[in-house]
Amino acid sequence: MKSVLYIRELPNGNRQIFDSPGGFRTPAGPYFDDIAMNRADGGTLVSMKYGHEQSAPDRIIKDRLAKDYIFHYILGGKGRYNGKELTANQGFLIFPDEIHTIEADMEEPWYFLWLAIRGYNIDYLIKNAGFSSSRRIFQFGDAGRVFEIFNDVIYTPHPDADMEMYMLSCFYRLISYLKSESRQIVQRGMMQSESYHLQAKQFMQKNFARDISIADVADSLNISRKYLTGIFNKYEECSPQMYLTNLRLDIASTLLRETLAPITEIARLVGYSDYAHFYKIFKKHKNLSPSKYREGCQ
């Protein structure tokens, strides 16, 4: 990391951020520079604005329509984006022409770096990085890496002749990192759901003889029943209740075929203390009563 930001308590109790112990080397935020790169035909390749900002405690921006994609990376404090509270090392992306609300916390107003960009191929890059109407908020596994990118954009002096290309390279670095983080989040989510799937099956296979419910299975993993149902729909193409029922009936069928144990005892062994309920479930799924099933296997 090339530099750090310094926090100063102001006499009125607010805080301000600086890029050196003595104050800002660059003008104090909100601050922006407008960089435009033009194509040979006179069209705009990309237009970029950037800066840092300390929000006032009572600052609320409602229903502002932006013409750019605007990245916000929060350094500290708290605030709300469309009603969702966010804090340090989180960020959010505002889409062009969208209605949104940004509100600083009254006691700990946030301070953040921001980058606004528009231009050729930007829509594709944003989508390719994993952003969509349902994914606007992000959090980084490596805060130092993204801070370095924003730091390079806002604070690093550039020779005029090279500035535009350097700024664009910083943006591509940011998009590349966001895409990498998005992929890792998806992979971590897949790995976690796979793990829950296997653990849930193991719990059922170990406890099928007990009077367990799907809520018991979910509680054993400390996840919601709704989330567990989604996992089984994904990996088993059935509900967890159906998986447990099939497990019990498969074991009951094996016992009916290979043992002479009383049917009422088999029902109890596979978790059905109520024989009438076992009879009803077995006949529904096997199209035969337990006794007829046994007779057909002899």
**Higher-pLDDT residue of 36, 67:** 67
Digit-coded pLDDT (tens) for 2-42: 344 444 444 544 444 444 555 444 433 444 444 555 544 54
Q: What percent of the chain has pLDDT over 70?
A: 67
Average pLDDT of the residues of the chain:
75
pLDDT tier, 279 (very low <50, low <70, confident <90, very high otherwise)? very high
Pick the residue with more confidence: 4 or 114?
114
Q: Quick one: pLDDT at residue 204?
A: 92
Instruction: Kindly state the percentage of the chain with pLDDT values over 90.
Output: 18
Using DSSP, state whether 212 is helix, strand or coil.
Answer: coil
CA distances to 152, 173, 189, 214 from 162, in Å:
14, 17, 41, 62
Q: Could you give the domains of the chain? A: 6-185 (2.60.120.280), 208-298 (1.10.10.60)
- Which position has the higher pLDDT, 166 or 101? 101
Q: How far is CA 22 from CA 74, 76, 112, 192, in A?
A: 22, 20, 20, 47
Give 87's pLDDT tier (boundaries 50, 70, 90).
confident
Closest CA to 154 of 141, 169, 170, 175: 170
Tokens of residue 102, six digits:
């940004």
pTM: 0.50
Q: Which of 124-128, 199-203, 273-277 has the lowest mean pLDDT?
A: 124-128
The whole-angstrom separation of Cα 277 and Cα 246 is 15
Please compute the mean of the pLDDT values over residues 211-221 and round it to a whole number. Answer: 90
> What crossing angle do the helices spanning 240-258 and 290-297 adopt, rounded to 10°?
50
Nearest to 92 by CA among 127, 149, 139: 139
DSSP assignment of 220-243: HHT--HHHHHHHHHHHTSS-HHHH
Single-letter amino acid code for the residue at 235: Y
Give the pLDDT confidence score for residue 191 in this predicted structure.
Answer: 66
pLDDT category at 109 given cuts 50, 70, 90 is: confident
**Span 147-173, mean pLDDT?**
65
Mean pLDDT on 63-77: 78
pLDDT of residue 1: 34
Q: Over 60: is that where the pLDDT of 156 sits?
A: no
- pLDDT-derived band of residue 164, with 50, 70 and 90 as boundaries? low
C-alpha distances out from residue 189 to 138, 193, 194, 195, 196, Å: 15, 6, 8, 10, 10
Extract long-range pairs of 179-184: CB within 8 Å, 24+ residues apart.
179/128, 179/129, 179/130, 181/138, 181/140, 181/141, 182/129, 182/130, 182/135, 182/138, 183/130, 184/141
pLDDT top residue among 100 and 16? 100
